[in-house]
Amino acid sequence: MIKIENLHASIDGKEILKGLNLEVNAGEVHAIMGPNGAGKSTLASILAGREEYEITEGSILFEGKDLLELSTEDRAREGLFLAFQYPVEIPGVSNINFLRTSLNEIKEYRGENPLSAKDFMKMVREKSTIVELDSKLANRSVNVGFSGGEKKRNEIFQMAMLDPKLAILDETDSGLDIDALRIVANGVNKLKTPQNACIVITHYQRLLDYIVPDFVHVLFDGKIVKTGTKELALILEEKGYDWIKESAAV
Amino acid sequence: MYAVNTTQVNKLSQLLAPLDRSSLSLEKEKMQDLQDFLETANLPTTKDENWKYTRLTKLSNASFSGSQNANIPFTVYQDAYRIVFDNGKLVRKDAFNGCRSLTELTSHELTQLKPNKVIFDALNFVYAEDGIFLDVYGDLDKPIEILHLSNGNKVNNIRHYIRVHSLAKAEISLIFSADEESKSFSNIVSEIHLDNGAQLVINKLQVERGLDVNISREKVTQHRDSVFTMNTISLDGQFVRNDVEISVQGVNAESNLNGVYIVREQQFIDNHTIIDHQVPHCLSNELYKGVIFDKATAVFNGKVFVRKDAQKINAFQSNANILMSEDATVNAKPELEIYADDVKCSHGSTTGQLDEEAIFYLKSRGISDSGARNLLVSAFVGQVLEKIEHEDIQTFISKKLQERFGWEN
Ligand SMILES: Nc1ncnc2c1ncn2[C@@H]1O[C@H](COP(=O)(O)OP(=O)(O)OP(=O)(O)O)[C@@H](O)[C@H]1O
Ligand SMILES: [Mg+2]
- Which stretch, A125-129, B133-137, B207-211, has highest mean pLDDT? B133-137
- What's the rounded Cα separation, in Å, for the pair B140 and B164? 10
Alpha-carbon gap: A28 to the closest alpha carbon of chain B (Å): 22
To test ligand 1's pocket by mutation, which of A7, A12, A14, A17 has the most ligand atoms within 8 angstroms of CB?
A14
Q: Which residue has the higher pLDDT, B7 or B92?
A: B92
**Nearest CA to A40 among A222, A211, A185?**
A222
> What is the bridge-based pairing of β-strands A80-83 and B227-234?
unpaired
Distance A37 CA to ligand 1 centre (A): 5
Alpha-carbon gap: A92 to the closest alpha carbon of chain B (Å): 4
Residues in contact with ligand 1 by the CB-under-6-Å rule are A 11-12, 14, 16, 34, 36-42
Distance A35 CA to ligand 2 centre (A): 9
Q: What is the pLDDT of residues A174-203, one digit of tens each?
A: 889 999 999 999 999 999 999 999 999 999
Contact B379 A82 (CB under 8 A): no
The answer to whether residue B382 neighbours chain A at the CB level (below 8 Å) is: yes
pLDDT of residue B408: 56
- Identify whether A19 is part of a domain: yes
> Helix crossing, A230-239 with A242-249: angle to 10°?
100
Q: Are B287 and B271 in contact (CB under 8 A)?
A: no
pLDDT above 80 for B42? yes
Q: What is the pLDDT of residues A67-99, one digit of tens each?
A: 999 999 999 999 999 999 999 999 999 999 999
The residues near B375 (Cβ < 8 Å, ≥ 6 apart) are A90, A93, A97, A98, A101, B362, B367
* Pick among A90, A109, A158, A168 to test the B interface (most B CBs inside 10 A): A90
Indicate the residue type of B93: K
Q: What is the pLDDT of residues B305-345, one digit of tens each?
A: 999 999 999 999 999 999 999 999 999 999 999 999 999 99
Q: Which residues of A touch B364 (CB under 8 A)?
A: 48-49, 72-73, 75-76, 81-82, 84
Confidence of residue B1 (pLDDT cuts 50, 70, 90): very low
- What's the rounded Cα separation, in Å, for the pair B89 and B70? 11
Q: Which of A76, A97, A109 sits opposite B365 (nearest CB)?
A: A76
pLDDT of residue A249: 62
* Mean pLDDT across B10-33: 86
Q: Are A24 and A199 in contact (CB under 8 A)?
A: yes
Contact A73 B375 (CB under 8 A): no
* Mean pLDDT across B368-374: 93
> Helix crossing, B369-385 with B356-363: angle to 10°?
120
Range of the domain at A89: 2-180+197-239
CATH of the domain at A83: 3.40.50.300
**Nearest CA to B298 among B234, B363, B250, B360?**
B234
pLDDT above 80 for B214? yes
Q: What is the pLDDT of residues A205-236, one digit of tens each?
A: 889 999 999 999 999 999 999 999 999 989 98
Q: What is the pLDDT of residues A112-135, one digit of tens each?
A: 999 999 999 999 999 999 988 887
- What's the rounded Cα separation, in Å, for the pair B43 and B54? 11
pLDDT of residue B409: 47
Interface of B with A in 331-360 (CB under 8 A): 355, 357-358, 360
Alpha-carbon gap: A98 to the closest alpha carbon of chain B (Å): 8
Q: Are A162 and A81 in contact (CB under 8 A)?
A: yes
Report which ligand 1 atom has the smallest distance to the Cα of A42. 18
Confidence of residue B66 (pLDDT cuts 50, 70, 90): low
The residues near B95 (Cβ < 8 Å, ≥ 6 apart) are none
The residues near B113 (Cβ < 8 Å, ≥ 6 apart) are B26, B27, B125, B159, B161, B191
Q: Which of A179-193, B62-76, B347-361 has the lowest mean pLDDT?
A: B62-76
The residues near A140 (Cβ < 8 Å, ≥ 6 apart) are A94, A95, A146
pLDDT above 90 for B146? yes
How far apart are the two ends of chain B, measured CA to CA in Å? 62
Q: Are A55 and A9 in contact (CB under 8 A)?
A: yes
H-helix or E-strand spanning residue A96: helix A95-109
Nearest ligand to the CA atom of A219? 1
Q: Which residues of A touch B409 (CB under 8 A)?
A: 97
- What's the rounded Cα separation, in Å, for the pair B358 and B354? 8
pLDDT of residue A112: 94
How far apart are the two ends of chain A, measured CA to CA in Å? 32
User: Which CA distances in Å does B66 have to B11, B184, B368?
Assistant: 19, 9, 46
Q: Which residue has the higher pLDDT, A246 or B156?
A: B156
Number of independent structural domains in chain A: 1
**Nearest CA to B360 among A42, A82, A171, A95?**
A82
- Identify whether A95 is part of a domain: yes
**Nearest CA to B145 among B194, B192, B94?**
B94
- CB-hemisphere CA count at 13 Å for B155? 24
pLDDT of residue A242: 87
pLDDT of residue B218: 98
Assign B404 to helix, strand or coil: helix
Q: Are B293 and B322 in contact (CB under 8 A)?
A: no
pLDDT above 60 for B130? yes
> What is the bridge-based pairing of β-strands A2-11 and B155-164?
unpaired
The residues near A223 (Cβ < 8 Å, ≥ 6 apart) are A17, A18, A19, A20, A248
Q: What is the pLDDT of residues B278-309, one digit of tens each?
A: 999 999 999 999 999 999 999 999 999 999 99
* Mean pLDDT across B23-49: 90
H-helix or E-strand spanning residue B119: helix B119-126
pLDDT above 90 for B14? no
Q: What is the pLDDT of residues A22-66, one digit of tens each?
A: 999 999 999 999 999 999 999 999 999 999 999 999 999 999 999
Question: CA quadruple B98, B95, B205, B186: dihedral positive or negative?
Answer: negative
The answer to whether residue A139 neighbours chain B at the CB level (below 8 Å) is: no
Q: Which residues of B touch A87 (CB under 8 A)?
A: 361
pLDDT above 60 for B174? yes
Residue of A nearest to B361 (CA): A88
To test ligand 1's pocket by mutation, which of A42, A50, A169, A221 has the most ligand atoms within 8 angstroms of CB?
A42
pLDDT above 90 for B361? yes
Distance A100 CA to ligand 2 centre (A): 29
Cβ atoms within 10 Å of B166's Cβ, excluding its own: 14
Alpha-carbon gap: B376 to the closest alpha carbon of chain A (Å): 7
Contact B366 A84 (CB under 8 A): no
- Identify whether A192 is part of a domain: no
> What is the bridge-based pairing of β-strands B99-101 and B132-136?
antiparallel
Residue of A nearest to B409 (CA): A97
> What is the bridge-based pairing of β-strands B313-323 and B343-352?
parallel
- Identify whether A248 is part of a domain: no
- What's the rounded Cα separation, in Å, for the pair A107 and B366? 10
Q: Which residues of B touch A101 (CB under 8 A)?
A: 367, 371, 375, 408
The answer to whether residue B363 neighbours chain A at the CB level (below 8 Å) is: yes
Confidence of residue B68 (pLDDT cuts 50, 70, 90): low
Contact A106 B383 (CB under 8 A): no
Percent of chain B clearing pLDDT 90 (strictly above): 78
* Mean pLDDT across B187-210: 95
Q: Which of A84, A92, A101 sits opposite B367 (nearest CB)?
A: A101
Assign A120 to helix, strand or coil: helix
The answer to whether residue B107 neighbours chain A at the CB level (below 8 Å) is: no
Q: Are A128 and A135 in contact (CB under 8 A)?
A: yes
Alpha-carbon gap: B303 to the closest alpha carbon of chain A (Å): 28
Task: Name which residue sits closest to atom 17 of ligand 1, judged by CA.
Answer: A41
Alpha-carbon gap: B385 to the closest alpha carbon of chain A (Å): 12
Interface of A with B in 94-133 (CB under 8 A): 97-99, 101-103, 105-106, 109
Distance A192 CA to ligand 2 centre (A): 23
- What's the rounded Cα separation, in Å, for the pair B161 and B23? 17
Task: Name which residue sits closest to atom 22 of ligand 1, judged by CA.
Answer: A41
User: Which CA distances in Å does B118 have to B34, B115, B187?
Assistant: 9, 8, 13
Report which ligand 1 atom has the smallest distance to the Cα of A43. 18
Burial class from Cβ neighbours inside 10 Å (0-12, 13-18, 19+) for residue B8 reads exposed
What single DSSP character describes residue B138? S
pTM (2 d.p.): 0.88
